[in-house]
Amino acid sequence: MTTPTRPPVPPFTRESAMEKVRLAEDGWNTRDPGKVALAYSADSRWRNRAEFVAGREAIVAFLSRKWARELDYRLVKELWAHTDHRIAVRFAYEWHDDSGQWYRSYGNENWEFDADGLMRARHACINDLPIQESARLYHWPLGRRPDGHPGLTDLGL
């Protein structure tokens, strides 16, 4: 059985790294754990905050728990740096809990890819800031961020 390729694949240029970041953002904004997990190698390893996750099944379980808790999730990612097979991003996402308290979560991720363009390692550091609903910056309908919507830099984040 051959492993599916997830273009763009390493080695990354600035343009292909930016494309990979946007594809990752688009995937996470679907909030579909099964679909998102396909971007990761079968043996992918994560550190997300203080939680360690290994393998696609664990990724699906992690994301299912995450999006059951983080409601109306909307994410923006931005390329920070890249090498041949690694990408660093910064991101911010907005969500609310089941009591209606809104948050903006800020973070950085370091990604490492295999030759097929699947992410084999993801290291994420994230901080949550409680915000008022009136302070929200992401108002697009759930799903993909519209192309004309400002990114992190444009929003001053």
Section 103-123 average pLDDT: 98
The rounded mean pLDDT for the chain is 97
pLDDT band at 111 (very low <50, low <70, confident <90, very high): very high
What pLDDT score was predicted for residue 65? 98
Owner of token pair 């996402």: 93
| Domains defined along the chain, listed by start | 14-155 (3.10.450.50)
Separation of alpha carbons 21 and 87, rounded Å? 8
pLDDT at 1 over 70: no
What pLDDT score was predicted for residue 58? 98
Instruction: List Cβ neighbours of 32 (8 Å cut-off, separation of 6 or more).
Output: none
**pLDDT tens column, 53-87:** 999 999 999 999 999 999 999 999 999 999 999 99
102-113 and 86-96 strand pairing: antiparallel
**pLDDT tens column, 6-36:** 999 999 999 999 999 999 999 999 999 999 9
Identify which of 83, 139, 85, 80 has the alpha carbon closest to the alpha carbon of residue 106: 80
